[in-house]
Amino acid sequence: MGRVAYVNGRYVPHDHAQVHIEDRGYQFADGVYEVVPVVDGVLVDEEPHLDRLGYSLGELRIAWPVRRQVLRLILREMMARNGLERGIIYFQVTRGVAPRDHKFPAKAKSSLVITTKRLKPPSAAILENGVAVSSQPDIRWERCDIKSLSLLPNILAKQAAHEAGAFEAWLVDEAGAVTEGSSTNAWIVTHSGEIVTYPKGQGILGGITRQSLLQLAATRNLRLVERSFTLDEAKAAAEAFLTSSSAFVLPVTRIDGEVVGGGKPGPVTRQLREIYVANVDAQIRAAK
Ligand code: PDD
């Protein structure tokens, strides 16, 4: 079965999918996106992702391209047409096609593009050994809460991390705090057992995986603290990990080449990954 993309009302072969050159997403990155994990053919945390899409659209005064309920149906159709069992579904909404002019166009209709991608779960080796991160300056704008298509600082940070042999960049702001990763949220576990992540607000993207994990962990006897932490605190922490829709919960065992938590995933990180995966399994059971 060939890959199928959705472009403004049409299901088209992925290789031939096109948008207009005056789409404002192409010209200005004037749009937003979502990435929703799919496991066993089920969308994980679909409603929170759609809520966040609505938030991003609202902050930028971009209209929904189709009604929410219609979008839910198109997402399912895309999974079926692509035979997507495990991976991600990507959807982006732009302000639409209009002659290039910075001001909002008077009449443009929002564009909707959707693609799917198969992904394997992280390898046993990654789960056993964790990943490395490299610190990079956080040079982004002050509305990181909007899931904007405009990702140049994130791309530059991820590339620099990649060239440094790391899996992810951890972004450090002017005050020395680790805000988040280039496409993941950043967490540490302190020696006293506190699970720490940067507070939700305009400084980070409020990750859906982050939010789910906070809710799941709160129902257990785990101590969660939303506060900033420095790079030095992270390097000296008992454990570190990252979260995202594609990675779920991944142990971080090296920061800038320095070993964290003895170089192996710690017990709290393992427990949180198990709690998260169990919640995904529960969503799959509920959907079937
Ligand atoms: N990235 N922080 C940033 C800057 C992100 O781009 C992402 C998601 C996250 C994690 O959010 P969530 O748990 O909702 O996936 C945090 C997606 C996966 C991407 O850009 O591909």
Order across the sheet with 87-94: list the strands.
Answer: 10-13, 4-7, 111-118, 87-94, 31-39, 42-43
* Over residues 198-216, mean pLDDT: 98
Is residue 271 classed as helix, strand or coil in its secondary structure?
Answer: helix
d(CA 209, CA 247): 9
Most ligand 1 atoms within 8 A of CB, residue of 144, 184, 241 to mutate? 184
pLDDT at 110 over 90: yes
pLDDT digits (tens, 9 = 90+) for 125-162: 999 999 999 999 999 999 999 999 999 999 999 999 99
pLDDT at 215 over 90: yes
- Does ligand 1 have an atom closer than 6 angstroms to the CB of 245? yes
- CATH topology assigned to domain 124-284: D-amino Acid Aminotransferase; Chain A, domain 2 (3.20.10)
Q: Where are the domains of the chain?
A: 4-118, 124-284
- CA 248, 206, 96 angle in degrees (round to 5)? 105
* Over residues 35-45, mean pLDDT: 98
Distance 128 CA to ligand 1 centre (A): 23
Distances (CA, A) of 230 to 20, 33, 186, 188, 240: 44, 29, 11, 10, 12
pLDDT at 249 over 90: yes
d(CA 150, CA 157): 14
Look at residue 221 in the predicted model and tell me its pLDDT: 86
DSSP string, 203-269: TS---HHHHHHHHHHHTTT-EEEE---BHHHHHTSSEEEEEETTTEEEEEEEETTEE-GGGS--HHH
d(CA 149, CA 86): 24
pLDDT at 88 over 90: yes
pLDDT digits (tens, 9 = 90+) for 256-269: 999 999 999 999 99
Point out the residues that are catalytic. 147
b/e per residue, 32-61, with b = 16+ CB within 10 A? bbbbbbbbeebbbbbebbbebbeebbeebe
pLDDT at 188 over 90: yes
The two domains 4-118 and 124-284 share their CATH topology (first three levels equal): no
Look at residue 187 in the predicted model and tell me its pLDDT: 98
**So what's the architecture of 4-118 in CATH?**
2-Layer Sandwich (3.30)
- Does ligand 1 have an atom closer than 6 angstroms to the CB of 184? yes
Look at residue 218 in the predicted model and tell me its pLDDT: 92
* Over residues 92-108, mean pLDDT: 97
Look at residue 256 in the predicted model and tell me its pLDDT: 98
pTM of the model: 0.97
pLDDT at 28 over 90: yes
Residue 215, φ and ψ in degrees, nearest 5: -65, -45
Q: What share of the chain is helix, strand, coil (3-state, %, to 5)?
A: 35, 30, 35
Question: Which atom in ligand 1 lies closest to the alpha carbon of residue 144?
Answer: 4
pLDDT at 1 over 80: no
**Pairing label, strands 4-7, 258-259:** unpaired
